[in-house]
Chains A and B, each alone.
Chain A
Amino acid sequence: MTGNSVLKQVIVALAAWAACTLHAAELRIGLSADVTTMDPHFIAAQPNLTAQHHVFESLVHVDERGRSIPLLATWRTPDPLTWEFNLRKGVKFHDGTGLTAEDVVYSLERPLAITGSPGGFATYVKPIVAKQIVDRYTVRLKTAAPYGALLQDLAEVMIVSKKAATGATGADFDGGKAALGTGPYKLVKFSRGDRIELARNEEYWGGRLPWDKVTLRILPSDPVRTAALLAGDVDAIEHVPSADLAKLRARAGLKLAQAVSWRTILLHLDQGRDQPPGVLSKAGKPLERNPFKDARVRRALSKAINRRLIVERVMEGLGLPAGNVVSPSVFGHDPAVKADAYDPEGAKKLLAEAGYPDGFQLTLATPNNRYINDEQVAQAVAQMFSRVGIAAKVEAMPLSVYFGKARGGAFGVTLLGWGTLAADFALRSLAATADPGKGYGAWNWGGYANAGLDALVARALGTVDPAQREALARNASALAARELPFIPLHYQVVTWAMKSNLSYAARTDEFTFAHHFKPQ
């Protein structure tokens, strides 16, 4: 036997082995943030939801463009206060028991019983005042007032098995005993901070899926995630870092999927208090009044920001300049509202008119591990503020510290990213006058208060007809763009990178679902 034929045999063997491994169809995905629990009703954090959506499903789902679509149920509204959901028949939980109306009612009540959550799902089920089981496959939900956003709320609440979840603890979900959903994948192993192993649900109602086995790897460090894809340790990654975009795009054997995200990056300006922290005269003395209470100052700050330059240089194309509270594909985006153009002279003029010809100083607080290039964006904004005479400092910290401090009122100017399915939703959280009882203004860190905007948002949310509701939501968006309760910076563009034999429909809501990856 010659050396050459040995080599040929080796190549043939290797090819056969490669074909086999392809056949075994495992998909390994690098995720960008840690998943803290597999209990789908504990905390409404996107990284957790990403993993949980593989195992559990909700009544209503959201398509890649952010519109509500039926998942476990179809619906109709016999009257503005009643929503009737008809469950899909033949759906089974992972333990073989069938999905019934009882499981649905149980799952809609469970979030209210969860204690100790830093941000749970109660908001999403609170509008429901009565739940009625009509028959095994029909549930009727009542709201106290007409509430158009119910579908979007329900998309957040996953359906668990009443039998498995009753009395279950977080550890029971993490260990898999209670993590029995109806979803396309069964939980095999949850290793916090490392990986989540999933196996195909062979009896999935939605048909046979291409992947036998799915591994979600937790790779929070950007360069590490990119390196894992380049080295072939994973088949796809979410949230491709902007710095590596060009490299991955040019690399043979890899491809990208991109979409404008639902997430808007914005600045909250503290208008509620008289002395916002860090907002001082140039000499470091307290100011006589809070400059942010003056709409001209807010507009001046907005005009001082060169959004196009931030998008091009800092985001390396992973953004679109923003004027609206929500990005173009999201419900309630007003296409007539444009991002403020860069106008440093106009900004200086407005500042002078408002009584700050020499500017003032401020400290801009930002997380440094949450949004795409968050601390770099904050620094660029500070640079631009300083060009119009506002001495800006930047304080960056990890998300875990940042949210607590920001909620506690430790900062005068804060950077926040907000992703949601509708403009009226976003404004309810970000700009409506804070009212914990109604669930309004939960993220209104600026302390903005405008009864007109509150009323408009309430009217939009109370409108069940989607077309009418969208018109009202657009009006609210336009009002916010005129008044600037916060300053929108840009809409994020979200990117996935994968081996070129895969495809993924890039999602507005930034979610990464293994079952939506397709082999080519």
Chain B
Amino acid sequence: MNAAADFARDRIAVTALAVLALILFAAFFAPFLSPQNPYDLAQLDLLDSKLAPGARAGAGFTYWLGTDDQGRDMLSGIFYGLRTSLAVGAISTLVALALGMAIGLVAAYAGGWVDALIMRLVDLQLSFPSILIALVLLAVAGQGVDKVVIALVVVQWAYYARTVRGTALVEKHKEYVDAARVMAFGAPRIVFRHILPNVLPPLIVVATVQVAHAIALEATLSFLGLGMPITEPSLGLLISNGFAHLISGRYWISFFPGIALLITIVAINLVGDRLRDVLNPRLASHYSA
């Protein structure tokens, strides 16, 4: 049975995938779907600030999810915020994946003191809470999208390195690797052409879950005021902006971005879980419940 059909057997995962597709669509086409560019200060109007969901804008459209304290349309803000969140999550995950994979493969293949050094570094990195590392980095480096991505890469690479090394150590002693060695292939060729394809499935699973983790971490950093610039809010910053208005009953400023963030993370996690089951039948038979 092929993987796609196997995936499709779980209705929840299929629904999650559909939701995720919708979210990706909204994020990708945000400029066309949004009634307003929430990052263009000239399009915001302070006169329209803190309006409840359903209010009419001075510019003629309807604020379906209300506005925040700068007169920013929440729906547009969420579309653009998703864009930022997903882009930051995906880019940081890809970079961390590439970096972690390379380091993990080197550790596994080289062995000896190189392996020991790299793995102790990984242990050290993993022993710190990721939010702490990210906070310190951003406090030192300053704000901005690029710095958030760097912070997320630094926080994440160790997960991949460890996953790759574990799998690669097993693969390293298999006959096909011995065969490659016998044919006198160089180490890079053996590592990247032969071992790498065989360690990919577990990595894909880790990466999917880590995207969700990265998005949540970015939201946390933005919520704490250390992520995106305030004039270009991501979901975490939108939630943080609305936090001050919760007691006064203007729930929509925090509530809707919070829901958007929740749905995104849950959908990615559900898809990731199913991928794990599909790509790793052994695991599925042990843990399916």
Give A residues with C-beta under 8 Å from B: 222-223, 226-227, 230, 241, 243-244, 246-247, 306, 309-310, 313-314, 368, 373, 375-376, 379-380, 382-384, 386-387, 392-398, 401
Which residues, 241 to 267 on B, are CB-close (under 8 Å) to A?
243-250
Give B residues with C-beta under 8 Å from A: 40-42, 44-47, 49-50, 69-71, 139, 143, 225, 229-231, 243-250
Contact B41 A223 (CB under 8 A): no
Q: Which one, B44, B70, B229, B245, contacts A243 given CB within 8 A?
A: B245
Contact A247 B70 (CB under 8 A): no
Contact B41 A230 (CB under 8 A): no
Contact B70 A393 (CB under 8 A): no
Known: A313-B49, A383-B41, A392-B41. A241 touches B244 (CB 8 A): yes
Known: A376-B69, A386-B41. A243 touches B244 (CB 8 A): yes
The A-B contact count (CB < 8 A) is: 75
Q: What residues of B have a CB within 8 angstroms of the CB of A243 in the complex? A: 69, 244-245, 247-248, 250
Known: A243-B245, A383-B42. A396 touches B230 (CB 8 A): yes
Contact B70 A230 (CB under 8 A): no
Contact B46 A310 (CB under 8 A): yes
Known: A247-B249, A392-B41. A380 touches B244 (CB 8 A): no
**CA of A398 to CA of B230 in the docked complex: distance in angstroms?**
13
Q: What residues of B have a CB within 8 angstroms of the CB of A392 in the complex? A: 41
Q: Which of B44, B46, B143, B250 has the most CB of A within 10 A?
A: B46
Contact B44 A383 (CB under 8 A): yes
**CA of A226 to CA of B245 in the docked complex: distance in angstroms?**
11
Nearest residue (CB) in B for A396 is B230
Q: What residues of A have a CB within 8 angstroms of the CB of B247 in the complex? A: 223, 226-227, 230, 243-244, 247
The DSSP consensus for interface residues of chain A is helix
Q: What residues of B have a CB within 8 angstroms of the CB of A310 in the complex? A: 46
Between A and B, 20 residue pairs with Cβ closer than 8 Å are A222-B244, A223-B244, A223-B246, A223-B247, A244-B248, A247-B247, A313-B46, A314-B46, A314-B49, A375-B230, A379-B70, A380-B46, A380-B70, A382-B231, A383-B42, A383-B45, A386-B41, A392-B41, A393-B231, A396-B229
**CA of A401 to CA of B139 in the docked complex: distance in angstroms?**
9
Contact A309 B46 (CB under 8 A): yes
Known: A309-B47, A313-B46. A379 touches B244 (CB 8 A): no
Q: What residues of B have a CB within 8 angstroms of the CB of A247 in the complex? A: 247-249
**CA of A436 to CA of B50 in the docked complex: distance in angstroms?**
45
**CA of A195 to CA of B124 in the docked complex: distance in angstroms?**
36
Contact A387 B42 (CB under 8 A): yes
Known: A310-B46, A379-B41, A392-B41. A368 touches B231 (CB 8 A): no
**CA of A25 to CA of B13 in the docked complex: distance in angstroms?**
61
**CA of A397 to CA of B246 in the docked complex: distance in angstroms?**
23
Q: Identify 6 new A-B residue pairs, CB closer than 8 A, beyond the known A247-B247, A368-B225, A386-B41.
A: A241-B244, A310-B46, A313-B47, A379-B231, A383-B41, A395-B229
